[in-house]
Amino acid sequence: MESTDLPQARALPLFATMAEASFGRLMRAARVEVLPAQTGLIREGEPADFLHVVVEGRVELYARWNGRETVLEMVRPRRAFILAAVLKDGVYLKSGRTSQRSRLLLIPAGDVREACSEDGAFARAVLDELAGCYRELVKQQKDLKLRTAVERLANSLLAFDGEQNGGGSIELPCDKRTLASLLGMTPENLSRAFATLKPYGVEVDGARIRLTDMASLERLAKPTPLIDDATL
């Protein structure tokens, strides 16, 4: 890896507390790749040979079965994937591709396992990352099983608004087909859900969404930190 990339990698939460010598050994065979959108990265069923960390951009994790495909997660910057498969020396249970131009850090899986054995601070950071992934999965399950499709969409729009400075004007972070898959809907159901939200001040113009009656939308969505707060 180029020396200019080391400070950027060192600042990532997963590596910030590592001993300098351990970090150097972990990075000895690592590399940084800048990839265009829709570049395939990993494939479910194949051995986990690298730990991937999103430095910039976004990665879409998805799965296929019996002619069907679903998007499971969007990985944002400063997050790793798929850590559990790397630690278990197992196969990927998801496939992955870039959803936009992205910069990724790739670390050989064997080096990650070795670093976990040698560096206690890194092992604790790995546990923290895995715990965060588990809690996120629990919240996703609650969202899917306790809310209607319209409620899921309403809460997603409120979350997007919060991520984009809360101005009531949203640019969808992915195409509508991907959004529908993330929310457990068909594209047709997503269109109907958007139509249902129109009386609540949701105006749709392609990928641009305007929220003109935030109070009504929040009354419908009923956001709760036990599902919607990414920090818990």
At 105-130, the pLDDT tens digits run 999 999 999 999 999 999 999 999 99
Distances (CA, A) of 47 to 76, 168, 223: 23, 43, 39
Contact between 212 and 201 under an 8 Å Cβ cutoff? The reply is yes
**Of residues 146, 12, 133, 157, the one with CA closest to residue 73:** 133
**Of residues 51, 99, 98, the one with CA closest to residue 79:** 51
**How would you write 136-175 as a 3-class SS string?**
HHHHHHHHHHHCCHHHHHHHHHHHHHHHCCCCCEEECCCC
Query: Helix or strand or coil: residue 34?
Result: strand
Note whether 29 and 128 are same-domain residues. yes
Note whether 25 and 96 are same-domain residues. yes
Distance CA 202, CA 226 (A): 25
Contact between 71 and 181 under an 8 Å Cβ cutoff? The reply is yes
Note whether 74 and 180 are same-domain residues. no
Q: Is the dihedral of CA 6, 12, 16, 18 positive or negative?
A: negative
Domain tally for the chain?
Answer: 2
Note whether 50 and 134 are same-domain residues. yes
Contact between 198 and 206 under an 8 Å Cβ cutoff? The reply is no
Residue where a domain terminates, one of 127, 144, 161: 144
pLDDT of residue 6: 63
Contact between 90 and 117 under an 8 Å Cβ cutoff? The reply is no
Residue where a domain terminates, one of 109, 144, 179: 144
Q: What range defines the domain where residue 50 resides?
A: 3-144
pLDDT of residue 5: 64
Note whether 125 and 156 are same-domain residues. no
Distance CA 46, CA 43 (A): 6
Note whether 40 and 152 are same-domain residues. no
Residue 211's CB: how many other CB atoms inside 10 A? 23
Q: How many residues are present in the chain?
A: 232
Low-confidence ranges of the chain (pLDDT < 50): 3-4
Note whether 179 and 132 are same-domain residues. no
pLDDT of residue 69: 94
99-110 in b/e form (b: 16+ CB < 10 A) is: beebbbbbbbbe
Distance CA 183, CA 79 (A): 21
Note whether 116 and 196 are same-domain residues. no
Task: State both tokens at 168.
Answer: 């009531």
What's 91's DSSP letter?
B
Note whether 122 and 153 are same-domain residues. no
Question: Across the strands, what pairs with 54?
Answer: 79, 104
Task: State both tokens at 178.
Answer: 């991907």
pTM over 0.85: yes
- CATH number of residue 202's parent domain: 1.10.10.10
Note whether 124 and 26 are same-domain residues. yes
Note whether 46 and 126 are same-domain residues. yes
